[in-house]
Structure 1
Amino acid sequence: MDGKTLQDTAHKHAESLAEAGLEHPFGPDWEVFKVQGKVFMLMTEVPGKSVVILKSDPGEAEALRKTHADITPGYHMNKRHWITLAPGGSLDKKLIRELVTESYRLVVNNLPRPRRPVGSGTAGARS
């Protein structure tokens, strides 16, 4: 999978999640998706490649890094709790969407109940 497809897949899926919003707090080269003001996905270019950075459960992050050559510790983030997806052959669109959803859910589950988006406890996607 090339970098454009990776980022397009992640971007489209993130936009479908309840109350997810895109911001550019670090300038135009960084796309930052938030829910209720909390970051769940970042996208940027690192030397020579487009990447997607997602929150992940530490145990899951470790397992993903061991089984997918294109998943590494979070770029400029906490290496235990964030992963970086890079272009390559070990990722497919279904896995990317699942990882974006999981990142979103991890953030939403840490929000106080009254601030959690309606419907985010199930699929998370807007109806």
Structure 2
Amino acid sequence: MNNIIEYCLTKKGAVKDFPFGPDILVIKVAGKMFALIFESRNTINLKCDPVIAENLREQHENVQPGYHMNKKHWNTVLINESLDESDVLPMIDHSYDLVFGKLPKSTREAIMMRI
């Protein structure tokens, strides 16, 4: 799970937050959540286009509707032997891109200008 967290934090403007207590890690960009990580459960919640979300759920039994989230727009992904971290990285990219793309243009530009 550490690799997943590190990967999330490589995204431009990504920061850790613990708004739900010390056991639930939230990764945000410009104050907007794109990943919610339950390390004790080995799961990550990721935002997803509804059509892609349905396809992923059909393809992988370890991808389920978002736990405590809007089930149309969020998936919960169980990281284990049948779905390893390398399968999850494109899902993280997609989640980040969806959230980043909805930010105001000036905010996106400011984030991209940071080193």
Give the TM-score of the pair, scaled to structure 2: 0.90
Alignment of 1:96 with 2:94, yes or no, is no
Q: Secondary structure at the match of 1:101?
A: helix
Alignment of 1:66 with 2:66, yes or no, is no
* Residue type at the aligned position of 1:109: G
The residue number in structure 2 matching 1:26 is 20
Structure 1 residue runs of 5 or longer lacking an equivalent are: 1-6, 120-125
Q: Secondary structure at the match of 1:94?
A: helix
Alignment of 1:55 with 2:47, yes or no, is yes
Runs (4+) off by over 6 Å: none
Give the TM-score of the pair, scaled to structure 1: 0.82
Which protein is richer in helix relative to its size?
2
Q: Deviations over 1:47-81 (max 9, x none)?
A: xx321000000000000000001100001000010
Work out the CA distance in 2 between the residues paired with 1:80 and 1:12. 27
Structure 2 residue runs of 5 or longer lacking an equivalent are: none
Q: Larger relative contact order (C-alpha < 8 A, sep ≥ 6)?
A: 1
**Closer/same/farther in 2, CA of residues 14 and 104 from structure 1, 3 Å limit:** same
Alignment of 1:16 with 2:10, yes or no, is yes
